[in-house]
Structure 1
Amino acid sequence: MTIWLEEFTQRLCGNIMVYLFPVLFGYCSWELACGGSNMHSFKDLNAFGSDRAGALKSTCSETPVSVLQRACKTSLNCFCIIRDNSAKTMGLVSTSNSVFKGVDLHSRTNNTEHHTSEISVDQLIVRRGQPFILTLKLAQPFNPDLDQLTMTAETGNYPSETRGTMSRFGVPNKIPASASSKAVWKAELKKGSSPETGSLTLTIKPPADAPIGEYKLSAKHKEEKQVLANLSVLFNPWCSDDWVFQPVDAQRQEYVMNEHGVIYRGNNSQISPCQWDFAQFEENMVKICLKILDLSVKYKRDPAGDVSARCNPIYVGRIITNMIHNESTFGVLEGNWSGNYRGGMNPAYWSNSYTILKQWYDTYYKTVKYGQCWVFASVMCSVMRLLGIPCRVVTNFESAHDTDSSLTIDTYFTDCGRAKPSGDSVWNFHVWVEAWMRRPDIANNGKYDGWQVLDPTPQEKSEGMFCCGPAPVTAILNGDTHLKYDVSFVFAEVNADCVCWLVKKDGTMDKISTDNITVGQNISTKSISSNKRMNITDSYKQREGTEQERSVFRYALDRLKSEATGEGDTGGSGEKVLSGTSEMNTTDPVRTAETNKPSQLIIQFKEDSRPVNGGDVNLKLILSSESTVTRLLSVNISIQAMRYTGQPAGNIQTEVTEQKLLPGQDLSIPILVPFLTYHKYMIVSQSLNVSVIITDLQNKENIYLAETRIKLMDPPISITVLGEAVVGRELTAEVMFMNPVKETLRNCTLTLSGSGLFTGEIITNLPDLQPSNRIRVQFPMFPYRSGERSLMVDFDCSSFRDIKASCTVYVK
C-alpha cells in the first residue's frame, strides 16, 4: 500500500511509504475462539496481532488441539471453544463390502440451475419446489421392477413426517405416504441412467412447502442404510407454488440476487443515498443465516415445532426481525442511539452486512456493537435474500413513532425555542424492509399478497417479543389496522398528525399548531437495475389533502379507538366489525389546523448554499405579513444538534432579538453557525435543528413557531480503480481526500471493503493531515468473484466520522 500526502496545489510536500506484511494463515477447517471479550477465527486475516502471528502460522498441518494449546499461551484468563466446520456436502463413506460405492451430487450443475452457484459450487444448495439430480453408484445392478431404493430426507433434531421435517420416498415410488404426512419429497429414475450397471441418476424434488434448512439425505437398499449427503434447502421465488414466488424476473434479480444496495438517509428535503454491500453470497452465509434461526427463542421453547414452521415465510420473517437485534438472546446487533459508542462501532461506520454477520458468527454469537435502524434493516435484507425471500430496504422520511396508538405525535418546545425530549417522536427517517410473500392467513383471495413490512429495529413488542410485521403494504394503504401483523404501528409511522406545544415557564402549555401533512414523506427504495431512487409513497398512503386520505385516516382511527375500548364485533374472523362507520362525523378535530391567529405571519428559511460539514452554515430567516401596520416582534432563534430519531443531542447556540416588520415588506434575518461552534456536536449527530419562536410584543397571545432540519453534506472523498478487474489478478484502487478545515485532522483511518474483492475489511491508519492538504492512498486487491462488485471506503478522523464513498467494479 502506498500513501502520498500532497498540498492542495498538488505540490509534493511529503512521501510516505507504508509497507504492510500481513501473516497469511493456513485455511484449515477448524476455528479457534477465545471466550470473553476476545474471540477469533483462523480465517480472519487480522485476527491476531504480530505477537500471535508466529504462533498461529501454518496451522493446517496440525491438530486443532495442538493449535489451541499454543495459541492460548498468548491469551491470559480465557476459555476456549472448538467448532468443527469441516462438514462437506458429500456424506457417503463406502466400505469394501458395501452396496453403496459412491455418489455424485452434481453440485455445480444443480446449484447453477437453482440460482445458488453464487453461494457455492461445492456444497449442494437447492431451492424447494424444484428438482435436482444425484448419481448413485451401487456395487450391483439395480432392477426397478424388482428392487427398491428407499430414501429419507430429514431436518432438525426431531424429524417427523407429520411435521414435514422428514420424508420417506423412493425409486420406484412404492412407499405410501400417510394421510398426516406433510412436505413429501419425490424421486424418479432419470432417463439415460444405467441401472443394469448399478449407476442410478435420480431426479429428486423437495416439495414447495418443505421447511428450509440443512437436511440429511440417506438411502436404504436391501438391508443397508447409508447417508448420501448433507444439503441445504432454501425458499424458491422462481417456483409458482412457493409462497415467496415472484413472477417478474427483473425483480427476482434485484431483490434476491443483487448484492448491492442503496440506503436512503437524511431528511425529507435533503435525501442522501448511502451505498450498501449486502454480500449475501459470501462464505458461510448459509450456515450463518440458518444459525440465526436455530438461536431464536421460538426454537428454544419448541425446537420441533420451530423447525416445522420454517416452511412458512411469514413465520421466518418474524423470527428474523426478532433475532437481528439484541433484545433477543444471541441477537446479531445491539442498538445504540445515545451518541456514546465506546466498546463498539458508531452505527454509521458499517457499509456491509457480511462484516457484522461474520463477526457475530465467529465470536460464537456475541452481539455486535452497534446498530441503528438502517443497519438493522440492511443486515436483515441480506439474511432474507440469502434464504430466498425477495426483500428490499425502504426508508420512510419524517417517520412517526406513536407509542399510544392515538395517531398523534406531540412535540414540545420551551419558550426559548428548544425542542424537549418526548415519548412520541418524529424521526428524520426510519428504515425497514419489505419482503415479498403471500398472506393466505388473512385473506384467501390474494388481496394482501405482495410486499410486507418487516421492521427489525426494536421499538414495541408484538405477541410478547420485539418484532414487527409482516404487515401488508396494501393493508397500510387501506387503513386496515386490525390485520396481522402490526399494521396499526406502521400505519401511524406514515400517517400520524404532529401537534406542537409551547411549554411556558410556569409549566402550562399552549397548542401552537397541528400538522397533518409532514409525516410519511418520500418513502423510498432503490430502483430495479439502477441506483436511482424510487418513490413508493403512493403504495403506503393516499394522496395528502384528498377526501380519500381523510376517509382512510378516520377509518383507521375509529378502528384503533374501538380496539382500545373493546367495542365492535370480531365476526368470528378476528377482525373488528365497526358499527355506524357510514355515519361517522366528517369533521375530524385531530386533523383541523389551528385558526386562532388573527393575523398570519409567514416564516421561511432560506439557505445561501447547501451546507457542508467543515464549513460555516449560513441561512436566512425571512418573515412576511399581510398586516397593514408595523409589527414589533421578539425573535428567538435556537440551534440544536439533533439525532435522526428527532431527539436533541445538544444546544449549539441561541439568539434573541427584537425586530420590526414593516407592512408590505419582507424582513430578512441572517443566521450564522460557525464550524468551530457546531463541529464537536456533529461527530455523533446527524443534523442541525433550527427553530424559531416569534412573539408579537403588541399582542403576546400571538406566538408563532417554525423549524427546519439541516443535513450537512460530507466533505468529498473519491475512490477509483486503476486498470481492468480480472478474477485472481492484482488490481489497484486509489482513494483521495482533502482536509477542508483550518485544523489538523488526527487519528485518521481508512476502511476498505467489498464482497468479491476482499474477504474481510482492510483497516489502515493514516498520518495526520494538515489544513488544505490532500492524502492519496493506493492499495492492491485480488478479486475472487466475477460480476458487478461494489468497492466501499470509510474515512474517520478527529473532526469527521464515517465519510463514505464507493465505486462499481466490473470483474471479469
Structure 2
Amino acid sequence: MPENLDIELVYLYPKENSTSHKTDKFELVHDEENPIAIFRRGLKFTMAIRFSGRNFEDDMDVVKLIFSFGKNPNPIKGTKVSIRLDPKRTDPEDHNNWYAGFLGRSADSITLEVSAPVQCPVGIWSLQVETSRANSTLPPTMFDYESEIYILFNPWNSHDLVYMPDERLLDEYVLTDVGKIWVGPWGSSRGREWVFGQFDGCVLPSAMLMFALSELPDASRGDPIKTTRCISKMVNSNDDDGILVGRWDGEYEDGTAPSSWTGSVDIMQEYLDNQHPVNYGQCWVFSGVATTICRALGIPSRVVSNLVSAHDANATLTVDKYYNESNEEMDYDPLNPMGEDSIWNYHVWNDVWMARPDLPIGYGGWQAIDATPQETSSGFYQCGPASLEAIKKGQVGFNYDIGFMIASVNADLMRWKVDPKSDLGYTKIYCNKYHIGRMILTKQPYIFDPNGDKDRQEITNQYKAKEGTPAERLSLYNAVRCTELAKSFYALPDPGLEDLKFELQELETIKIGESFSVVVNIKNNSDQVRNIKAVLSAGSIFYTGVKAHVIKKAEGKFKMGPKSTEHLKMVVKADEYLEKLVEYCILKLYAVATVEETRQTWADEDDFQVTKPNIDIEIPAEIPIGKATKITLKFRNPLKKILTRCKFNLAGPTLLRNQILPYQDVKPGAMVKVTTHIVPKMTGEQKIVATFSSKELLDITGSAKVEVTDDDE
C-alpha cells in the first residue's frame, strides 16, 4: 500500500492575494525573506500544495487543512478548524463557515481557493496540512506551514459586523495612514497631523502583543464590540500592561513628551521591542494609537475631538462647581470625595464603525470608544463602544458607558452655593446648558489640508441635537431619568424660577388592545402670562429600561394666563402601539416642558405595563404518580389580528421535560386551546409553567400547582 503523501511546499501567494484583500499596503506582505500572508475574513484567497514522491489520488488520499488560533485552539470555540479537501465538492462558499475548493491541479500539485468565515477570530492563525490514506492504519503525516497567517476584519463584506456600506469611506477610515487630530481649546483649535502608520511592519505584531497581554479570550477576538472595548482598555496602561502611560503634569524627563510624538509607529515599535508601557501619552496620543490599531485590524475608525469636554466623575450628568458662603469656589467636590468633575478644553477619542446586534435596530454605525483613562467601567479603565445614536437619544440603559459619553458632550454646568436649609446642603445658583460640547470635530474624508483647516468636519449633530432645542433637552432628560444620582441634581429647582407646577398623571391598568392617554396637569402660580413649550411622548421599552420604539410624540407651544390651570392630553390608540410593543409590553410615558420667560424646565416619566391574558391551565388538584394525566391550556386572543407561528412551551420540574406544542394560526378574538398529557415522576406539591408565543403576540404566561399522590399509600 502506498504511504501518505509527502508535502514539499505550501504556498499562500501573500503578494498576489493581497491585492484583492486590500492588504497590499502592509509591509509584512512584501518582506523579501519571509512574506506574510494577510487576508480578510469572508473573502477567498488562493493557495497551492506541492507534493513529492507521487501524485494526489482522489479516491485514496485524504488531505486536510487545519487552521488554529491562539494558545489553546478549540473547534467548539471556533479557534480550530479541520477542512477535508474534496475534489468533487461543488457546494457554494458559505460566509458562516470555512471553505476550501479546488481551482486546479497538475502532476504534482493542487491549487485551492479558501476563505475564513466572517465571524472568525482576528489575528494570527497557523496552518497545518495533514495527509493520510483512506482505510489505512498508518498515522497521518503533518506538514507545518512555518509562517504566520493574519486574518483581519473585512469592512468590504456585507456579512461582516464592521461592514461599511459606502465603500468610498473605507479609503479614509481603513486605508488612509496619515491624518489629523484636532487639538486646542474652543476658538483656537487646530488640526495636528498624525502618522497612523497602520501598515508598518511593527503594528500588527505589537497589536498581537497587546491582545496577548489582555484578558480578552481568543474566541472573542472576532467580535468587534469586545475587540474595540479591549483596545480602549489596552492602549492605556493604568491597570494592565497596555501601550501608553498617561501623564499631564509636564514632567516627561524619563520618557517622551506627548507633544513630541509624530505618530503611532514609534510608540508601537517601542512597545513591541520592550514589551512594556511607553512613556508618555495624552488623550490625542491615545486616540492616534487606537486609530492605528483599529485600521490595521480592518475596523473603520476616525479620531474625534470634543471642544469643551466634560469629565463627569460622579455620574450626575452635570459638571458641578461649588461655592462657599462668600461666593468663593471650592477646590474640591464636597459631594464626591473620590474625585471631582472637570472640564477639558478639548478631549479626543475615537469612533469605530460596526453593527450592534446586542442593541435594538438602528443603533449600529459609529460607536465611541475612549482609550484615555478617566473613569473605570466594569472595573477597568475602558470606555465604549457607545452607540452615537444612543448618546444622541440619551439611552443610558444601552451598553457601553452611554451616560459617561452623554456627560462628555452634553452635561449641564451647574454652580452650587452652601445652603444649610437645603436637603443637599447646597442650592443651585446657576445652570449653563450650552457650555459643554461646543463643537465636535473629525477629519473630512478625501481631503488633507497641510496648511489649514479646510479638511475639518464638524459632527456635533451626530452626538446631540442642536443646543437649546427641545430635542436636545429631551435626550438629556431621558438620560437623567435613568440615572439615579442625576435625578437629585436635576430635580432641584433654580431659585425663584419655579412658578409653574407640573404633574404627569399616572395610568391605571390598561388591557392590551385598549387606548390610553398621556395627561399633564399644569398650574400657573404666578401673576404673569407664561409661554410654555411642551413635548409629550410614549414609547415601548425593554424591561432593562432600554428604549425600543417611539410610539407617538406631540409637541407645541401654548400660553397660560396668570393663576390659571391647563391640562395637556395625548391619546394613544391601540393601532398605534400594538405593532411596536416588545417583550413584556412595557411602555414609558415622557413629558418635558419649558417655560420661555423663566427657563424653568420640568420633566417626568411613568412606566406601565399593558396587561395581557393569562394562560388558564386546567389540571386536577391531585394527580397520581406514574400515570398520564390530561392537561389543557387555553386563553383568548386579545388582538384584532391573526396570530401566526404559534407555540406553547410547557415545563415543570419532575413533572415533564420542556415540551413545545406547535399551534395553528389563531383568528382575532378566538379561543386558543391545546391539550396534552403529563406523567409525574415524584410525589408532593409540584408546579407547572406555560408560555405562549407567536409572531404577533409574546409573553402570554400561566402557571399552576398540583399535588402528586401515590395511590399505593
Same fold at TM > 0.5 = yes
- Provide the rounded CA distance (Å) in 2 between the counterparts of 1:563 and 1:544: 19
Q: Equivalent residue for 1:109?
A: 16
Are positions 1:536 and 2:459 aligned together?
yes
Are positions 1:575 and 2:546 aligned together?
yes
Q: Equivalent residue for 2:65?
A: 151
**Per-residue CA shift, 1:276-324, capped at 9, x if unaligned?**
000111112211111111101x24xxxxxx0011110111111111111
| Letter paired with 1:228 | Y
Mapping 1:248-259, distance limit 5 Å: 248-259=166-177
- Provide the rounded CA distance (Å) in 2 between the counterparts of 1:580 and 1:573: 12
Match of residue 486, structure 1, among 401, 408, 417: 401
- Provide the rounded CA distance (Å) in 2 between the counterparts of 1:580 and 1:342: 58
Q: Secondary structure at the match of 2:593?
A: coil
- Provide the rounded CA distance (Å) in 1 between the counterparts of 2:430 and 2:8: 80
TM-superposed CA distance for 1:587, in Å, is 4.7
TM-superposed CA distance for 1:129, in Å, is 0.6
Match of residue 247, structure 2, among 332, 336, 354: 336
Q: Equivalent residue for 1:411?
A: 321
TM-superposed CA distance for 1:405, in Å, is 1.9
Q: Equivalent residue for 1:473?
A: 388
- Provide the rounded CA distance (Å) in 1 between the counterparts of 2:442 and 2:378: 29
- Provide the rounded CA distance (Å) in 1 between the counterparts of 2:472 and 2:351: 23
Are positions 1:260 and 2:174 aligned together?
no
Q: Secondary structure at the match of 1:385?
A: helix
| Letter paired with 1:395 | S
TM-superposed CA distance for 1:170, in Å, is 2.1
- Provide the rounded CA distance (Å) in 2 between the counterparts of 1:269 and 1:413: 28
Contact between 1:164 and 1:182, CA under 8 Å: does it hold in 2? no
| Letter paired with 1:388 | G
Mapping 1:558-707, distance limit 5 Å: 558-561=481-484, 571-572=542-543, 575=546, 582=589, 584=591, 586-587=593-594, 592=599
TM-superposed CA distance for 1:379, in Å, is 0.5
In structure 2, relative to structure 1, the CA distance for the partners of 1:576 and 1:135 (3 Å cut) is: closer
| Letter paired with 2:483 | L
- Provide the rounded CA distance (Å) in 2 between the counterparts of 1:270 and 1:493: 20
Contact between 2:186 and 2:308, CA under 8 Å: does it hold in 1? yes
- Provide the rounded CA distance (Å) in 1 between the counterparts of 2:7 and 2:587: 72
Contact between 2:442 and 2:458, CA under 8 Å: does it hold in 1? yes
Q: Equivalent residue for 1:308?
A: 219
Match of residue 43, structure 2, among 130, 139, 149: 130
Higher relative contact order (CA 8 A, sep 6+): 1
Are positions 1:218 and 2:135 aligned together?
no
TM-superposed CA distance for 1:581, in Å, is 5.2
Are positions 1:228 and 2:145 aligned together?
yes
TM-superposed CA distance for 1:341, in Å, is 2.4
416-425 or 509-518, which deviates more: 416-425
**Per-residue CA shift, 1:201-232, capped at 9, x if unaligned?**
11111111110121111111223221134311
| Letter paired with 1:439 | R
Match of residue 268, structure 2, among 336, 357, 363: 357
Q: Equivalent residue for 1:374?
A: 284
**Per-residue CA shift, 1:170-198, capped at 9, x if unaligned?**
210799x9xxx99642111104x32xx02
Q: Secondary structure at the match of 1:459?
A: coil
- Provide the rounded CA distance (Å) in 2 between the counterparts of 1:470 and 1:588: 36
- Provide the rounded CA distance (Å) in 1 between the counterparts of 2:477 and 2:165: 35
- Provide the rounded CA distance (Å) in 1 between the counterparts of 2:389 and 2:426: 38
TM-superposed CA distance for 1:571, in Å, is 4.2
Q: Equivalent residue for 1:462?
A: 377
TM-superposed CA distance for 1:360, in Å, is 1.2
TM-superposed CA distance for 1:580, in Å, is 8.6
Q: Equivalent residue for 2:709?
A: none
Consecutive unaligned residues of structure 2, counting only runs of 5 or more, are 133-139, 334-339, 420-424, 449-454, 489-538, 549-584, 602-713
Q: Secondary structure at the match of 1:475?
A: helix
Aligned residues: 477
| Letter paired with 2:348 | V
Mapping 1:776-791, distance limit 5 Å: none
- Provide the rounded CA distance (Å) in 2 between the counterparts of 1:342 and 1:539: 40
Mapping 1:57-456, distance limit 5 Å: 99-119=6-26, 120-121=29-30, 122-139=35-52, 140-172=54-86, 184-191=97-104, 193-194=105-106, 197-222=107-132, 223-229=140-146, 230-296=148-214, 298-299=215-216, 306-363=217-274, 365-412=275-322, 420=331, 423-443=340-360, 445=361, 447-456=362-371
Contact between 1:150 and 1:220, CA under 8 Å: does it hold in 2? yes
- Provide the rounded CA distance (Å) in 2 between the counterparts of 1:424 and 1:543: 24
| Letter paired with 1:513 | Y
- Provide the rounded CA distance (Å) in 2 between the counterparts of 1:169 and 1:340: 56
Q: Equivalent residue for 2:437?
A: 520
In structure 2, relative to structure 1, the CA distance for the partners of 1:583 and 1:132 (3 Å cut) is: closer
Contact between 1:163 and 1:182, CA under 8 Å: does it hold in 2? no
- Provide the rounded CA distance (Å) in 1 between the counterparts of 2:187 and 2:595: 29
Mapping 1:696-775, distance limit 5 Å: none
TM-superposed CA distance for 1:573, in Å, is 5.1
In structure 2, relative to structure 1, the CA distance for the partners of 1:349 and 1:412 (3 Å cut) is: farther
TM-superposed CA distance for 1:533, in Å, is 0.5
TM-superposed CA distance for 1:326, in Å, is 1.2
Contact between 1:164 and 1:184, CA under 8 Å: does it hold in 2? no
Q: Secondary structure at the match of 1:462?
A: coil
TM-superposed CA distance for 1:244, in Å, is 0.7
Detail structure 1 runs of 4+ shifted over 6 Å in the superposition. Answer: 413-419, 562-565, 576-580
Contact between 2:5 and 2:61, CA under 8 Å: does it hold in 1? no
Q: Secondary structure at the match of 1:586?
A: strand
| Letter paired with 2:57 | N
TM-superposed CA distance for 1:143, in Å, is 3.2
TM-superposed CA distance for 1:332, in Å, is 0.8
- Provide the rounded CA distance (Å) in 2 between the counterparts of 1:536 and 1:351: 25
- Provide the rounded CA distance (Å) in 2 between the counterparts of 1:316 and 1:583: 36
Q: Secondary structure at the match of 2:77?
A: coil
- Provide the rounded CA distance (Å) in 2 between the counterparts of 1:149 and 1:580: 58
TM-superposed CA distance for 1:579, in Å, is 8.6
Contact between 1:165 and 1:183, CA under 8 Å: does it hold in 2? no
- Provide the rounded CA distance (Å) in 1 between the counterparts of 2:196 and 2:240: 24
TM-superposed CA distance for 1:126, in Å, is 0.7
Q: Secondary structure at the match of 1:279?
A: coil
| Letter paired with 1:489 | F
Q: Equivalent residue for 2:513?
A: none
Q: Secondary structure at the match of 1:461?
A: coil
**Per-residue CA shift, 1:626-651, capped at 9, x if unaligned?**
xxxxxxxxxxxxxxxxxxxxxxxxxx
- Provide the rounded CA distance (Å) in 2 between the counterparts of 1:585 and 1:258: 44
Root mean square deviation of aligned Cα? 3.3
| Letter paired with 1:376 | F
**Per-residue CA shift, 1:700-753, capped at 9, x if unaligned?**
xxxxxxxxxxxxxxxxxxxxxxxxxxxxxxxxxxxxxxxxxxxxxxxxxxxxxx
TM-superposed CA distance for 1:325, in Å, is 0.8
Contact between 1:250 and 1:528, CA under 8 Å: does it hold in 2? no
| Letter paired with 1:465 | F
